[in-house]
Amino acid sequence: MNVVFLSPHFPLNFYNFCVRLREVGANVLGIADEPWGRLRPELKSALSEYFKVSDMHHYDELVRGLGHLTFRHGKLDHLDSMSEYWLETEARLREDFNIPGLRPADMHRAKHKSEMKKVFRQAGLRAARGRVCPDTDSVRAFVREVGYPVVAKPDVGVGAASTFKIADERELSAFLATRPPVEFIFEEYVAGAIVTYDGLVDRDGRIVFDASLCYSRGIMEVVNEDSDIWYYTDRDIPSDLVAAGRALVAAFGIRARFFHFELFRVADGGLVALEVNFRPPGGLTLDMWNYQNDMDIYREWANLVVRGRVENAPSRPWYCAYVGRKARFRYALGLEEVLARFGPLIVTHERVDDVFSAAIGNYGFILRSPELADLEEAAAAIHEQV
């Protein structure tokens, strides 16, 4: 089986996908703009061939790269990057080279938040009222309809970039005077805690791995206020969240890939669907799944791609938490003090790539315990500032 992985060197932990693919028998082919000499040794060993382009945004170079790999290795059977950023590029390449998976026709529902809302309702889920507002008059009409506060975000966007909570007329006027030149969707503000339903789906649409994240705060607030965040993988996923997630997998027709669904848990105890992503959660969450379940999710994905099945199901013997810290703050505990105090809980710690630092900090700790209270205590201490 010939598997093409776009940008296999980034994020840093994604090289594991290529290593595991090679171990289960795939012929792994890489395309990126990173010089060969800068790839880590494990990735080099996993790749049968690497095609370097000058810029991943130059689609014609990617086409030439895939043409070269096809000539050298035969028909390409699978293509992925696991990245939201390259989702549309992947779809175009699959169409041009007749590779199974998401195609350009699927992108409207996969990328546009306004279209996601339609699917949420078709799946029987609640969703915040929202509308794409192309001009000032339509924005003000929507605000009159739902009242303040409202949230403005790009209809097509990644993470919490350019996402704003607007509380009053003054803030609205300021936003309208400086709004970026992209299509924005405006939504009524939903007060609630963000929870996720995440997992991996096989070729027949069956969920073969699932998980859930609970956040200390919303990513929008963390980015806009430049504050700290911690989150954890739940051991017991609520049944209504599982039901909502399964309904979304069916409604979006997800096959043979990871998914990451974000929802609000609101004051009445119910769920309000926020967003779907056709990729795994970001940051170090994949590694958190491994630590939570004492398994290798990279290998399970490779098994699914190559053999059509996984070998292990999640058992969740641990809660696993990510605690991020930002370089701009002074913390009460230094790194060595954190390690000395919470060493038995900490499974790894590392510097975070700057691309992700606005959301999850410049330095991150992964901790695990069978008791959530242990992680709550550790997160509070790690985040305590001078």
Q: Where are the domains of the chain?
A: 2-104, 129-188, 192-383
pLDDT at residue 161 in the model: 63
Closest CA to 230 of 88, 343, 59, 372: 372
State both tokens at 115.
Answer: 């279209």
pLDDT at residue 181 in the model: 86
Q: What is the rounded CA–CA span in Å between residue 205 and residue 105?
A: 19
Domain boundaries 129-188, corresponding CATH code: 3.30.1490.20
pLDDT at residue 214 in the model: 97
pLDDT at residue 218 in the model: 85
Q: What is the rounded CA–CA span in Å between residue 116 and residue 272?
A: 13
- Tell me, rounded to whole angstroms, the distance of Cα 108 from its chain centroid: 18
- Tell me, rounded to whole angstroms, the distance of Cα 162 from its chain centroid: 17
For residue 202, how many C-alpha atoms fall within 13 Å in the half-sphere facing its CB? Answer: 15
Helices (H), the chain: 15-23, 41-46, 59-73, 87-97, 107-111, 113-122, 136-146, 169-178, 219-225, 239-252, 285-293, 297-307, 335-342, 354-360, 372-383
pLDDT at residue 142 in the model: 97
Residue identified by tokens 């700790």 is: 365
Domain 2-104 CATH (choose: 3.40.640.10, 3.40.50.20, 3.40.50.2300, 3.40.50.720): 3.40.50.20
- Tell me, rounded to whole angstroms, the distance of Cα 61 from its chain centroid: 27
pLDDT at residue 230 in the model: 98
The list of the chain residues with pLDDT below 70 reads: 158-161
Q: What is the rounded CA–CA span in Å between residue 158 and residue 28?
A: 27
State both tokens at 299.
Answer: 């290998």
pLDDT at residue 224 in the model: 86
Beta 126-127 vs 271-277: how paired, if at all? parallel
192-383: CATH homologous superfamily? ATP-grasp fold, B domain (3.30.470.20)
User: Residue 11: CB partners within 8 Å, gap ≥ 6?
Assistant: 282, 353, 356
pLDDT at residue 76 in the model: 98
